[in-house]
Chain A
């Protein structure tokens, strides 16, 4: 299904999606974030500070609550997500590909009911990047595309005064069907403009991982390289790289207590971070990843070696957030290139 939407009718489309809670990028506290739609939506954002991964994998969520009188069996109450279906507009193609990778993690081996429930309730309307949205974009070199539709339900392309709107999934078709007459049939000129813009988009200069295909083998051979400690030397372990990553899925599970007699509380999942020393530290004090170098190696090798070995795809989608927001300038493109070049 391929349609045309006049830009000033975008709000009307969102308005008729009454079965859905709609979200779109908006500036909040000086940063771009996916916010519930309130008022006019203008999809002129660069990229959001945080990827949309939090829709299906929120930073904090309650698994279940417990209430226990000492010595007795506790009462456990599951807190599976509920609510209206949700749709996010303006998702960039790199983040669409991020969703594909999150799906692999949370649906592989055994399904994660919290992720699955939220994910099944979620639709992503993407926006193609006619130009790189950041100077650190490198999606092309990791197998992505600024106009790609992986993981999206709809892909919109900005043609100037109008959007070209293409359904990717059945969910996407359903969203477009609701729009009715708001969406028009594309003219030959629209299709030509789309083709030209997409061709221009993939020809835009980007940064590049030079040998993403060779990375798994080369990183494997570089496990003991002294470069890891050297490249990680400035790391302060803040973890911003993984919190802003569209594919980082690591989490912690803890109990939060709100009452003593009877004991009341919740078992809670929160995002966690491989750049923190205690992420892997045993209770004994032994730590398999005791240094910043070991932790940088874990992040990079997870993205470009381990994930590939397990799933046949790189875990990095080239959004560049971890580069743009690292306070000490650690640059995953530089790190991968340097280590793989050194491996020969």
Chain B
């Protein structure tokens, strides 16, 4: 009898933090497995979280693989399961299975400049790479982080981003100007063009709304980044995480297995259907 790939492990919520308030609220959750052990993951992989009675959802693991005690997820309240997750409290028990998908080749990037570009909740999927690189600061050259939200209230990981200053160049932005905001005003791709990160010995990693990713890649190309130097992570509706339920494919690739991490060089060869 093969192992039951659909049966989740049980995990307890040990920490909840409200990142962003309002209609598109984002909360960060940490979960710890009930049985003591849990799966190992790599930067960029995802896990299927269950709220029993409501269903499952695929979420990027936002904590670094170097963190062994818990797995962190930052979740926007948008659908049935994410809303149910937001209503949970510390101590509640959820289901988790995974990890799913491929990962960012972080080890191959040693000795290079890393440039991260995130928008909205798209900071979470690249956060494990950022924190892994920072934890091994000596192994990498310059670390630059671009991140933007719709308004100052939509900025997630605020205190964590502030702590990055000193070990990384942090460039925040908001779409619309507001009193008290003294960093960049405008969309994330524009902030990138404004700061002109150098493609020299660099890797750029971007995640955010599809339209943001599109223009970020366009702008990075304009700045001289080669297709192989640009990485992103796709999201698609998923049910199984195992390349069987049939919905997350882009061309022949099931994103849950072959993705979610793609270099622009790879992504360019897939049909434009994501």
Residues of A that sit less than 8 Å from B by CB: 63-64, 66, 68, 71-74, 76, 78, 80, 105-106, 108-114, 116-117, 223, 249-255, 257, 263, 265, 267, 269, 272, 274, 279-284, 286, 288-289, 294, 298, 301-302, 305-307, 309-310
Q: Is B244 an interface residue (CB 8 A)?
A: yes
Q: Inside 8 A of B91's CB, which chain A residues have their CB?
A: 71
Please measure, in the bound complex, the distance between the C-alpha atom of A207 and the C-alpha atom of B86, giving whole angstroms.
Answer: 55
CB distance from B135 to the nearest CB of A (A): 31
Interface-central residue, B53, B240, B248, by most chain A CB under 10 Å: B53
| Contact present for A223 and B244 (CB under 8 Å) | no
Question: B82 contacts the other chain (Cβ, under 8 Å)?
Answer: yes
Say which residue of A71, A253, A281, A282 sits within 8 Å of B56 (CB atoms).
Answer: A253
Q: List 10 A-B contacts (CB under 8 A).
A: A109-B257, A251-B244, A253-B55, A255-B52, A265-B52, A265-B53, A272-B239, A279-B237, A284-B78, A309-B252
Chain B residues whose CB sits within 8 angstroms of the CB of A64 once the complex forms: 6-7
User: CA–CA, A74 to B249, complex, Å?
Assistant: 33
Besides A68-B53, A272-B247, 11 other A-B contacts (C-beta < 8 A): A76-B8, A109-B244, A113-B1, A223-B271, A251-B246, A263-B52, A267-B50, A279-B247, A302-B249, A309-B251, A309-B252
Instruction: Determine the distance from Cα of A100 to Cα of B2 in the docked complex, in whole angstroms.
Output: 20
CB-nearest residue of chain B to A117 = B1
Q: Looking at chain B's contact residues, is the secondary structure mostly helix, strand, loop, or mixed? A: loop
Instruction: Please state if A253 and B240 are interface contacts (CB–CB under 8 Å).
Output: yes
Could you tell me the distance between the alpha carbons of A301 and B244 in the complex, rounded to whole angstroms?
A: 16
Residues of B within 8 A of A (CB): 1-8, 10, 12, 34, 50, 52-56, 78-79, 82, 89, 91-93, 95, 210, 235-237, 239-240, 242-252, 257, 271-274
The tally of CB-CB contacts under 8 A between chains A and B is: 130
Q: Closest 3 interchain pairs by CB?
A: A250-B246, A283-B79, A111-B2
Tell me the interface secondary structure of chain A in the complex.
Answer: mixed
CB distance from A3 to the nearest CB of B (A): 34
The answer on a CB contact under 8 Å between B56 and A112 is: no
Most buried by B among A68, A110, A223, A249: A110
Chain B residues near A294 (CB-CB < 8 A): 273
Q: B252 touching A251 by the CB < 8 A rule?
A: no
Instruction: Indicate if the CB atoms of A78 and B257 lie closer than 8 Å.
Output: no
